Amino acid sequence: MTLETPTRPGAPADHATTAPSHIRGLRCRACGRPEELGPSFVCVACFGPLEVEYDHDVARERLTREVIAARAPGIWRYLELLPVAHVPERGLAVGSTALVRADRLARDLDLGTGTTLHLKDDTRNPTLSFKDRVVAVAAARAVEFGFDTLACASTGNLAGATAAAAAATGLRAFVFVPADLEPAKIDHALAYGATVIRVDGTYDDINRLSLEIADEEGWAFVNVNLRPFYAEGSKTIAFEIAEQLGWRLPDVVVGPIASGSMFTKIAKGFDELVEIGLVERKDVRFVGGQPEGCAPVATAFAEGVDEIRPVRSPDTIVRSLAIGSPADGGYALELARRTGGSIESIPDAATAAAIRRVAADEGIFVETAGGVTTAAVEAARARGVIRDGDEVVAILSGNGVKTPDARRFGLDGEESTVADPIAATYPAFAARYLG
C-alpha cells in the first residue's frame, strides 16, 4: 500500500512549494550551536546530539484541529511538526493506530477507583511495530537528500521497518542485527528483500560498526546519520494520543525504554502541541519500563544517581530493549524525575505474564516490549506514581507474532503448550474439557 501526495487545495505538499518552510535547520541539544540541514547527527563543536529546529509560527498558522481532521489518516497529517519538506510520493501507510480503552486490564492491574487505562496499539502498523513511524520519516528524508541505500543497526523491529520502507521507496536495504536475534525478526526483514548482516556482538557493538560503514560507504543509516530526523517520528504517537483523547493530554504515559528516544520525543510532541495552541498545558507523568537484565536507566533512577552505567552483557528475553548504553538514557531519566514519574525494572517472568494478560483481557498480542510496558503500569501503581482517577496511556510498541515464544516464559508442562489431540467425537471432547 502506498501513500500518495495529497492534491486537494491546502494539502501539505502544496505548502512546501508556495509558503515558507516549517523547518529551520539543525541545532545541538547540548550547546545550542546551529547546523545546516543535512545528514548529520553530532555537533562539531561539543559532540552533542543534533535535533531538528522548526518554525512553529508556520505550524501555528497552518495546523488547526479542523485542518488535521480533514487530512488523510497517518503520520503526515501533522507534517508541519515533522522534519520533512512535503508528504512523500511513495511510502507505507503508517500511524493513526487505535487508542483502546482497556477496562478489564485496568481491573486486573488493580489501578484503582476512577482510573482509566488506554492502550496505544502500535502493533497495527505495517510491519507491526512503532518503528514504522520513525523509519517513514527517515526514509522520506533519505530520498530528499538523494541517498540510494537505507540501512540500520537493529535489535529486531527496526530491521523489518527499514527493509519494508526501503522496498516501498525503491531504495536498497542493509540491516545489521545481533547474531542471536529472534529468527522471526530476521525472516521478516529478509521477506522485503533486505540484505541482513548478523554480527557477533551486542547492539552497541553493531552501532559502532554502523558509524564506520555510514562514513565509508555514504549510506543513509536511519538511526545514525539520519537520527535527528528518524527520532522525530516518535512525536506522532503524542500527536495521535492528544487527538484521540479529544485534543487533551493524559495524566500518565507509560512506555518502553531502549535508547530512550521514543520516551523523550513523546514529551516533546506534547510540548509542541501546547506551543502551537492545539491543546492546553497539563502536567504529564512519564513512566518508563526496562527489562531487569538490561536496565541501566532504571538502575540510575532507583539509586538516585545521574550517571547511566552501561550494561556490557544484556541478559533478558526482551531483545528489542537490550541496549546497554542508551543514547538518550540521561534525557529519559531526567524526564521521569522532572515529571514525577518513574523508571521501572521488570523481571522477564513479569514481562511474559503481562503478555498473556494483555492478550486474554484485551485481545492484543504484544511482543516483549509491550509486556515490559504493561508490567511497568502495575509497578508504577504500586509505587504511587499512578493514582486514583488518573487517565493513563500505555504504549504497546510491537506485535507478539515477532516474539511468539516469549509468552511461554516461566510456564512449565502442558500449561505452556496445546494439549494432545482428541478423537473427532463429542464424548472425547466432553471427557477432556467438560468433565
**pTM tops 0.85:** yes
What is the C-alpha separation between 411 and 418, in angstroms, rounded? 13
pLDDT in tens, the chain (435 residues): 333 333 222 333 333 345 679 999 999 999 999 999 999 999 999 999 999 999 999 999 999 999 999 999 999 999 999 999 999 999 999 999 999 999 999 999 999 999 999 999 999 999 999 999 999 999 999 999 999 999 999 988 999 999 999 999 999 999 999 998 888 889 999 999 999 999 999 888 999 999 999 999 999 999 999 999 999 999 999 999 999 999 999 999 999 999 999 999 999 999 999 999 999 999 999 999 999 999 999 999 999 999 999 999 999 999 999 999 999 999 999 999 999 999 999 999 999 999 999 999 999 999 999 999 999 999 999 999 999 999 999 999 999 998 888 888 877 655 666 788 999 999 999 999 997
Among the CATH numbers 3.30.450.70, 1.10.3720.10, 1.10.150.120, 3.40.50.1100, which is that of 99-127+234-412?
3.40.50.1100
- The pLDDT of residue 410 is 76
- The pLDDT of residue 19 is 61
Cell numbers 546551529: residue: 34
In residues, how long is the chain?
A: 435
- The pLDDT of residue 384 is 98
What is the C-alpha separation between 59 and 54, in angstroms, rounded? 9
- The pLDDT of residue 16 is 39
**DSSP helix, strand, coil percent of the chain (3-state; round to 5):** 45, 15, 40
What is the dihedral sign for C-alpha 378, 383, 385, 388?
positive
Q: What is the DSSP string of 245-270?
A: TTS---SEEEEE-SSSHHHHHHHHHH
What is the C-alpha separation between 385 and 156, in angstroms, rounded? 31
Of 96, 347, 345, whose CA–CA distance to 236 is shortest?
A: 96
Q: Delimit the domains of the chain by residue range.
A: 99-127+234-412, 131-230
What is the C-alpha separation between 303 and 41, in angstroms, rounded? 31
Asked if domains 99-127+234-412 and 131-230 share a fold, the reply is yes
- The pLDDT of residue 13 is 38
Q: How does pLDDT run across 204-241, given as a tens digit for each residue?
A: 899 999 999 999 999 999 999 999 999 999 999 999 99
Average pLDDT, rounded, for the chain: 92
36: three-class secondary structure by DSSP: coil
Whether residue 396 contacts residue 121, with contact meaning beta carbons closer than 8 Å, is answered with yes
Cell numbers 478423537: residue: 423
CATH number of 131-230: 3.40.50.1100
Q: How does pLDDT run across 311-367, given as a tens digit for each residue?
A: 999 999 999 999 999 999 999 999 999 999 999 999 999 999 999 999 999 999 999
